[in-house]
């Protein structure tokens, strides 16, 4: 494949609505594969980046999308991992230095080399050009940075696993959520609903902590054992010193001290959401019960493949609403309004 133009949806400038355009994909290299993108999930990070809410460092015009599911349609001459027709996914990064301590430990998401983690969009790749994401019809990627999607998972519902799925799987697996462990998931959205499914499949006792009880039926259907409203102060009294692990998926300004008070001795609260402003933590909220406040972001390639295989084995995928590309801007507004259960996925054939 020579360098070619493909259809895409891009934001022409920060805070601008997305519009149909064309972008160039690089020529197929020795170890590259060409992916015919079938579906692309809409992550809240896409909205943050398009609207320059995490700073103005984005590269515009910008094609978002790092929850990508598709089929290999062409391979470079040196490719050994994939063949034409294979079902593959691409997550939040498409390259890394491959040489630093973290890359060698399969923690590419924490790459400390000069190249760093090369994000799937709005980053600078090895060729010196900005990367463009999955709101498009095709993607060229090094075979080593693609993941294999199990045949048991439908491509549309599997797409969000490449971000939402691994974002929850990683802290749950690393902290050994399973039988005998009490896990709380803060927020039942695109991330949280996958946290409930995965923690339940691991065998943990799962509680949802949400502002209201509006989604209680959904939470219990997805695998939660308990569901509590955090808008009720009695919740924090009733559940004090209850959990081994809390994963906070929301990006709002929560009182972390109140949530830390829900942890048992040696319990851990893992922060996944990225609120606009810093969160305050009182030292005694940590010291009192030897509690830990931790952070986590996505996973490395090996762990992400492990997550996909786990989800394939247990039949886990995102609850989705598939939309046509001309509804992307509408979908962004609905995400911000909390009007989605639980992930929008773009049918890229409509681009």
- Across the range 167-182, mean pLDDT stands at 98
- Which one, of 252, 350, 351, 345, lies nearest residue 65 by Cα? 345
pLDDT of residue 53: 83
Residues of the chain with CATH 3.40.50.720: 166-295
CA distances from 29 to 75, 91, 130, 135, 220 (A): 9, 20, 17, 22, 48
Which has the higher per-residue pLDDT, 148 or 4?
Answer: 148
| 163 vs 27: CA distance, rounded Å | 26
pLDDT over 80 (residue 2): no
pLDDT of residue 168: 98
Q: Kindly tell me if the per-residue pLDDT of 52 is higher than 90.
A: no
pLDDT band at 87 (very low <50, low <70, confident <90, very high): very high
Helix (H) or strand (E) holding 291: none
Q: What is the C-alpha R_g of the chain?
A: 20
DSSP reduced 3-state for 307? helix
Quick one: pLDDT at residue 277? 85
Whether the pLDDT of residue 219 is over 80: the answer is yes
- DSSP code at position 279: P
Q: Are residues 26 and 4 in contact, defined by beta-carbon separation less than 8 angstroms?
A: no
Q: Looking at 29-38, 75-84, 254-263, 276-285, which range is the least confident one?
A: 276-285
Segment 315-351, tens digit of pLDDT: 999 999 999 999 999 999 999 998 999 999 999 999 9
Q: How many Å apart are CA 318 and CA 164, to the nearest integer?
A: 9
Mean pLDDT (the chain) is: 96
Q: Evaluate if pTM is beyond 0.85.
A: yes
Per-residue confidence at 56, pLDDT binned at 50, 70, 90? low
Q: Using the predicted structure, report yes or no on whether residue 1 has a pLDDT greater than 70.
A: no
Residue range 156-183: average pLDDT?
A: 98
Cis peptide, bond prior to residue 209, ω within 30 of zero:
no
Q: With a cut of 80, say whether residue 291 has pLDDT above it.
A: yes
Cβ neighbours around 69 below 10 Å, total: 29
Overall average pLDDT of the 305-320 stretch = 98
What are residue 49's DSSP bridge partners?
Answer: none
User: How would residue 284 be classed by pLDDT, with cut points 50, 70 and 90?
Assistant: very high
Q: How far apart are CA 227 and CA 209, in angstroms?
A: 6
Which residues make Cβ contacts (< 8 Å) with residue 17, sequence separation at least 6? 11, 329
> Nearest Cα to 47, choosing from 315, 338, 331?
331
Q: Which pairs count as long-range contacts for 51-56, CB under 8 Å and 24+ apart, including other chains?
A: 51/14, 51/15, 52/14, 52/15, 53/276, 54/274, 56/14
pLDDT at residue 57 is higher than 70: no
CATH architecture of the domain formed by 4-163+299-350: Alpha-Beta Complex (3.90)
Report the alpha-carbon distance of residue 114 to residue 97 in Å, rounded.
Answer: 7
Dihedral pair phi/psi, residue 247, rounded to 5°: -110, 120
pLDDT value at residue 10:
98
> Within a 10 A sphere around the Cβ of 121, how many other Cβ atoms?
25
pLDDT digits (tens, 9 = 90+) for 95-154: 999 999 999 999 999 999 999 999 999 999 998 999 999 999 999 999 999 999 999 999
Residues with Cβ within 8 Å of 63's Cβ and at least 6 positions away in sequence, in order, are: 8, 9, 10, 23, 121, 132, 133, 134, 135, 136
The C-alpha atoms of residue 188 and residue 318 are separated, in whole angstroms, by 12
Q: Cβ contacts of residue 235 below 8 Å, gap of 6+?
A: 209, 228, 229
Q: Strands, DSSP E only, in 160-239?
A: 182-186, 205-210, 226-229
What backbone torsions phi and psi does residue 185 show, to the nearest 5 degrees?
-110, 120
Q: Is the pLDDT of residue 228 over 70?
A: yes
Which position has the higher pLDDT, 95 or 59?
A: 95
Q: Look-up: residue for tokens 């609260």?
A: 269
CA distances from 136 to 34, 36, 40, 267 (A): 13, 9, 8, 42
Return the SS3 of 342.
coil
The percentage of the chain sitting over the pLDDT mark of 70, rounded to a whole number, equals 99
- Is 277 within 8 Å of 253 (Cβ atoms)? yes
Q: Given this model, what pLDDT does residue 275 score?
A: 84
Mean pLDDT computed over 152-175? 98
Give me the architecture of the 166-295 domain, per CATH.
3-Layer(aba) Sandwich (3.40)
Domain limits, CATH 3.90.180.10, in the chain: 4-163+299-350
Q: Is the pLDDT of residue 292 over 80?
A: yes
The 3 state secondary structure assigned to 40-81 is EECCHHHHHHHCCECECCCCCCECCCCCEEEEEEEECCCCCC
């Amino acid at each position: 494949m020579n360098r070619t133009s493909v259809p895409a949806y891009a934001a022409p400038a920060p805070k601008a609505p997305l519009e149909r355009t064309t972008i160039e994909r690089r020529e197929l290299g020795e170890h590259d594969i060409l992916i015919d993108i079938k579906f692309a999930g809409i992550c809240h990070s896409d909205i943050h980046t398009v609207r320059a809410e995490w700073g103005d460092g984005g590269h515009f015009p910008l094609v978002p999308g790092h929850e990508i599911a598709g089929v290999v349609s062409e391979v470079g001459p040196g490719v050994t991992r994939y063949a034409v027709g294979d079902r593959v996914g691409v997550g939040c990064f498409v390259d890394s230095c491959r040489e630093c301590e973290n890359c060698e430990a399969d923690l590419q998401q924490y790459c400390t080399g000069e190249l760093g983690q090369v994000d799937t969009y709005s980053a600078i790749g090895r060729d010196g050009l900005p990367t463009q994401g999955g709101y498009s019809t095709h993607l060229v990627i090094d075979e080593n940075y693609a993941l294999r999607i199990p045949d048991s998972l439908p491509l549309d519902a599997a797409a969000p696993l490449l971000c939402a799925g691994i974002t929850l799987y990683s802290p749950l697996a690393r902290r050994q959520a399973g039988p005998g462990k009490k896990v709380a998931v803060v927020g039942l959205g695109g991330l949280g609903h996958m946290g409930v499914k995965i923690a339940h499949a691991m065998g943990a006792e799962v509680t949802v902590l949400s502002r209201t009880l509006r989604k209680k039926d959904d939470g219990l259907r997805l695998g939660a054992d308990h569901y509590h409203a955090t808008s009720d102060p009695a919740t924090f009294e009733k559940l004090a010193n209850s959990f081994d692990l809390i994963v906070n998926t929301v990006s709002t300004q929560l009182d972390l001290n109140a949530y830390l008070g829900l942890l048992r001795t040696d319990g851990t609260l893992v922060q996944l959401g990225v609120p606009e402003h810093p969160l305050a933590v009182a030292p005694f909220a940590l010291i009192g019960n030897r509690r830990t406040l931790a952070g986590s972001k996505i996973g490395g390639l090996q762990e992400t493949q492990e997550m996909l295989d786990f989800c394939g084995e247990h039949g886990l995928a995102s609850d989705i609403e598939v939309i046509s590309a001309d509804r992307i801007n509408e979908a962004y507004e609905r995400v911000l309004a909390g009007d989605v259960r639980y992930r929008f996925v773009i049918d890229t054939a409509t681009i």
